[in-house]
Structure 1
C-alpha cells in the first residue's frame, strides 16, 4: 500500500533532459524519487495512457496579470481575484513557476496600470502566502528607464522578497523594439491608445523623456538591482553596442533581442537569450523584428516565454518538434530547465531524482488549426498539472 506522500505515474512518455522514455515516475514528499523505463501493467499508480509527462513550465515573462487587473481601459478588477484568475490560466497552460512581469515607470499618456505595480505585488504575494495559487509566483519588475518616477518606485518595490528578476526597458520609438516608427504607430493607434492626430506629439514627448532619463536611470537601476542580488535582464537590445552596455551593467539575460546581431553579441557576452513563444507559433515578431526561428537556426536561443499568450510555450514546443527543428528534450528545455537555471531555481525544470515534482501531463490532438502563417498540426492538450507532487490543474 502506498504511503500518503507517495505518488506514482506509470505508462507515460517521460521527457528527460536528453531522451524520451516510456516508463514510470515515483514521487515522494513532493520530490521525484526515481524514474524507470518499462511498461509493466503490474505497477500501481496513475495510468497516463501513453501521454507525455513534462517538467512544469517555468515562465519568466508574462504580462497577463496586468491584463486581468485592467481588463478594459481604465476599468479595474479587484487585485486578488485578478491574480487568482491569472494564476488559473497559467496553471491550465502547464506553468508551475511564473514570474509576473509588472511594469514600473509612467510616461506621457500612460494609464494608472503603470503606477499600480505595488498593488499587484501585494496581491500576488498575499494570494501566495494564503495558499490560493496553483503555480508558484515570483515578481519580474519591468523598469521603463525613460520615465521620471521609475527609480522612486523601484526603491519601494525592489527589495520585496518576491522580486526575482529586473529588466531594463526603453520603448522610445525609433530604436530597439520600435526601430520602425510605423510599427509603433500601428500598435498605439490600432490599440486605440492614441488618435492619429496625437501620434506625432506623443512621439516627441517620448524622445524628450528618453534624452533626459534613459541613460542615468539605466545605470542607477542596474546598480540597485546588483546590490540586492537580483538577476538583471536587458529588454530589446538591438545592436552590439547595446549588448556591450548591458553586459557592463551586469545583465545576465538578453530579453527579446530585436536583431540577429544583438543575439549573437549577447551569446558572446555569456547572456541567456530569451524570446517570446508567440514569435515561434506565429512565425515572426509582431513588431517586425528578428524571428525566433532565425535565432534557433543560428543556435542563439535559450529560453521561450509566454509574453502575451499564456498557452504559447507548450504550443511552441510541439510546433518545433513537429517541424523537425528540435528534438522533444531540446524544445522542452527552452521552457523548463533553461529558464529555471537562468534565475537560479536549480531545484526544478527537469524530471530527475531529487528535483521538485512539478509535472505536466500532455496529450496531442492531431488537427490542422489555421493561424496567421499556416496550419498547426499538433495541438498540445494539458491533461493534468502537479506542483511538488500535488495536483493543481
Structure 2
C-alpha cells in the first residue's frame, strides 16, 4: 500500500555521520537524490549538508510481524476506538520508531464468541488502504495475514482479503490449547484471560470450541492456504514451530520464515533448512520470552537468529539492534542492524531497500546515542522526511 512520492527534494546531503554499512561502521556522508541513495563517501562533505554531529545513520527498518495496530483499535478489553484514528496513530508510532516498511499483521481468526480477539482484519485493511491513498501514512504499509488454521472459515476470509488488499505475507498459525505456543490448556487460559478480560465461563466455551475446530479444520485449512499462497506468489511463514515434525511440515509447505520458534531444536532445524528464523525484539530487550519459550539471545548465540520483529513494541527494534552486539560475542552492529533491515527485506522479496548502498531506496534513520538508550531523531522514506 505504498503512496507515490512525487515531490521529493532533488538532493539532500547527510554529513558527519557514523554510517552503519553492511560490514562496517565508518564516519562519512551520504547523498540522497530523487529518493535514492546516490553517493556514500568519506572525508569532507559538499556544502549545504545536514550535520549529523556524529549521530548514526542506519537503513530504515523493515517490520514483518507487528500486531500493534490491534492495540490501537482495542485500547482496552471490549473498548473499540475509531478505526481511522487508530490506524494513523499506529502509523505515526511505527514511523517514529524507525520503521519505514511495515507488514501490518492482521488476524484472520473467525471467532465471534471471542470479542476483540478476531482482529477485525477487514476493517483494519480497508482503513489502512484509505489512509494510504489519502497520503496520510508515513511508513509504507503491506498486509501480513495471520491465518488461524483451525478456524472454520479462515480460508474464505483470507481469500476475500487477498482480493481486496496488498497481501505480501501469510502466517500459518495454530493457537489451539495444547499446540505449539500453548502446550497446556492452562497456559492458553492464563494468557487469553489476561489479554481479553473474559470470565472462566467464557473461556470454557472458547477452549471447547477450539479443540473441536482443530480436529475438524486444521489440516485441510493449512493445505488450502499453502496452495493459495503459492498460486498468488505470497511469502509463507510458519508460526510457533516447536518440534522436528513442525519444521518438516514447514519445509514441505515451502515456508520461507519461521516466526517465533518456541524451542532451540525448531530454530536450528529451520535455519539449517534455509528458513529464516524470526524472533521478537522485545525478547532480546527483556532478556527472554514473556510466554516462557526460548530466548532470542540464546538463538543469536547459537548463530540461528536471522530476523527480529518488534511484535508488540515498535520501539524494540532499535533497542535490540544496539543491544545485541553487547550481549552476544561475534555479532557486530552491522549484523544486528541487518536483522531489522536487510534480512527482513530480503525475506519479503524487497531487495530495493534495507541497506546503505548506492542505488537503493533512501529509507534512512538518524539515531542518537547521547542518552541511556538509542533514540531515533529523524526518519526519511524515499528521501522524504516523515518523522
Q: The TM-score by the shorter chain falls in which range? A: over 0.9
Maintained 8 Å contact 2:319/2:374: yes
Contact 1:84 1:132 in 2 (8 A): yes
Counterparts of 1:128-143 in structure 2, within 5 Å, are 128-143=132-147
Residue 147 of structure 1, aligned match among 148, 151, 169: 151
Question: In structure 2, what is the equivalent of residue 392 of structure 1?
Answer: 386
1:81 corresponding residue in structure 2 = 85
Residue matched to 2:265: 261
Q: 2:345 aligns with which of 328, 340, 345?
A: 340
* CA RMSD after TM alignment: 1.7
Task: Tell me the alpha carbon deviations over residues 257-282 of structure 1, each in whole angstroms, 9 at most, x when there is no partner.
Answer: 11111111111221111011011111
Give the superposition deviation at 1:133. 0.5
Q: Which runs of 5+ in 1 are unaligned?
A: 368-378
TM-score (norm 2): 0.94
Q: Aligned partners of 1:323 and 1:236: how far apart in 2?
A: 24
**Residue 17 (structure 2) pairs with residue 12 (structure 1):** yes
Q: How far off is 1:130 after superposition?
A: 1.5
* 113 and 188 in structure 1: CA distance in 2 versus 1, 3 angstrom threshold: closer
2:219 aligns with one of 215, 219, 230: 215
Report the counterpart of residue 186 of structure 1 in structure 2: 190
Contact 2:112 2:118 in 1 (8 A): no
Name the CA distance, whole Å, in 1 between partners of 2:282 and 2:126: 29
What secondary structure, in the 3-state scheme, does the structure 2 residue paired with 1:35 have?
A: strand
Q: Please say if residues 142 and 166 of structure 2, whose CA atoms lie closer than 8 Å, have aligned partners that are also in contact.
A: yes
Greater alpha carbon shift after TM alignment, 202-211 vs 130-139: 202-211
* Residues in 1 aligned to 2:307 and 2:219: alpha-carbon distance in whole angstroms: 27
Q: CA deviation at 1:113?
A: 5.4
Does residue 387 of structure 2 align to residue 383 of structure 1?
Answer: no
**Which of residues 222, 241, 244 is equivalent to 2:245?**
241
Judge conservation of contact 2:129–2:165 (CA < 8 Å) in 1: no
- How far 1:112 sits from its partner (Å)? 5.1
Measure the CA separation in 2 of the matches of 1:4 and 1:245.
48
Pairs aligned (count): 379
Q: Cα 1:352–1:41, aligned 2, differ >3 Å: closer, same or farther?
A: closer
Unaligned segments of structure 2, at least 5 residues: 1-7
In structure 1, what is the equivalent of residue 177 of structure 2? 173
Q: Is the 8 A contact 1:59 1:98 kept in 2?
A: yes
Tell me which moved more, 227-236 or 116-125: 116-125
1:52-94 Cα shifts (integer Å, max 9, x gaps): 0000010001111111112222322222221111000001100
**Contact 2:95 2:138 survives alignment (8 Å):** yes
Structure 1 SS opposite 2:118:
helix
Distance 1:240 1:103 in 2: 26
Which structure 2 residues correspond to residues 34-73 of structure 1 after superposition, within 5 A?
34-38=39-43, 40=44, 43-73=47-77
Q: Could you tell me which residue of structure 1 aligns to residue 367 of structure 2?
A: 362
C-alpha deviation, 1:101, in angstroms:
0.3
Structure 1 residue 211, shift from structure 2 partner: 0.7
Whole-angstrom CA distance in 2 between matches of 1:96 and 1:61? 14
1:93 partnered with 2:97? yes
CA distance in 2, matches of 1:180, 1:335: 32
Q: CA deviation at 1:161?
A: 4.4
